[in-house]
Amino acid sequence: MTSRRTADRAVGPRRTCVGCGREAGKAELVRIAAPGAHDAAAPRIAVLDRDGRLGGRGAYLCRSAEHERPQADCFDAAVRRGAFARALRARVTLDLKLVESIGR
Domain spans of the chain?
Answer: 15-102
Say how far apart CA 3 and CA 31 lie, in whole Å. Answer: 29
Question: pTM of the entire structure?
Answer: 0.83
Range list of β-strands (E), the chain = 14-16, 23-25, 29-33, 44-49, 58-62, 92-94
Which class does domain 15-102 fall in? alpha beta
Which residues 6+ apart lie within 8 Å of 29 measured at CB? 15, 17, 60, 61, 62, 63
Report whether 8 contacts 65 (CB < 8 A). Answer: no
Can you give the pLDDT at residue 21? 97
pLDDT block averages, 10 residues each, the chain of length 104: 54 92 95 81 88 92 87 96 95 90 71
Can you give the pLDDT at residue 40? 65
Can you give the pLDDT at residue 68? 80
Can you give the pLDDT at residue 85? 94
Can you give the pLDDT at residue 97? 87
Can you give the pLDDT at residue 37? 67
Q: In the 8-state DSSP scheme, what is residue 44?
A: E
Can you give the pLDDT at residue 47? 94
Can you give the pLDDT at residue 88? 95
